[in-house]
């Protein structure tokens, strides 16, 4: 028996704002969408165009308050081929929330407060 990664999910308050952020910050595009027939939720699956792994954004119609992210120790990580260009781009966007130069990484924060780790390609 072999298991492979398929997708990760996060819940978002403003789906279109989140899709725009992930496109601008990480180049992800929507590859699939599922809307509940009663309008209670929308699932948007974002892909990087290279790997089969997806990021699922879930929007719930009745949710108005921000999600409790706890200590925000869970995160998603992306590897980038041009770390310095990515860093400059994210700095210009104003979304860098934590830097760890000794480890050679930094984190960006999405509109809902989720942290995304950016690591250089080795």
Domain residue limits at 20: 7-61+74-120
**pLDDT confidence of residue 29:** 98
The question of whether 99 is a catalytic residue gets the answer: no
Residue 51 forms part of a structural domain:
yes
Residue pLDDT, tens place only, 76-105 = 999 999 999 999 999 999 999 999 999 999
Residue 67 forms part of a structural domain:
no
**pLDDT confidence of residue 97:** 97
Query: What are the distances in angstroms from CA 109 to CA 2, 35, 51?
Result: 33, 26, 22
Count of structural domains within the chain: 1
Residue pLDDT, tens place only, 19-78 = 999 999 999 999 999 999 999 999 999 999 999 999 999 999 999 999 998 887 789 999
Higher pLDDT, 73 or 10: 10
Residue 28 forms part of a structural domain:
yes
Retrieve residue 30's tokens: 């929507």
**pLDDT confidence of residue 78:** 96
**Catalytic hit among 30, 65, 92, 117:** 117
Residue 98 forms part of a structural domain:
yes
Q: Enumerate residues 6+ apart whose C-beta is below 8 A from 91.
A: none
Q: Which among 12, 10, 6, 48 is positioned nearest to 31, based on CA atoms?
A: 48
CATH number for the domain that contains residue 107: 3.10.180.10
Residue 2 forms part of a structural domain:
no
Residue 45 forms part of a structural domain:
yes
Pairing of strands 105-109, 115-120: antiparallel
**pLDDT confidence of residue 73:** 78
Residue 23 forms part of a structural domain:
yes
Query: Torsions phi, psi of 21, nearest 5?
Result: -60, -50
Residue 42 forms part of a structural domain:
yes
**pLDDT confidence of residue 115:** 95
Whether the CB-CB separation of 31 and 78 falls below 8 Å is answered with no
**pLDDT confidence of residue 53:** 96
**pLDDT confidence of residue 122:** 83
């Amino acid at each position: 028996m072999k298991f492979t990664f398929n997708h990760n999910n996060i819940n978002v308050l403003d789906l279109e704002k989140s899709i725009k952020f992930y496109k601008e910050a990480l180049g992800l595009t929507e590859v699939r969408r599922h809307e509940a027939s009663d309008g209670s939720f929308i699932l948007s699956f974002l892909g990087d165009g290279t790997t089969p792994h997806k990021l699922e954004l879930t929007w719930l119609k009745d949710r108005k308050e921000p999600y409790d992210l706890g200590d925000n120790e869970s995160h998603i990580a992306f590897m980038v081929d041009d770390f310095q260009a990515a860093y400059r781009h994210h700095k210009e966007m104003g979304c860098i929330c934590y830097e760890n130069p000794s480890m050679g990484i930094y984190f960006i924060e999405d509109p809902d407060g989720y942290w995304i780790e950016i690591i250089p390609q080795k």
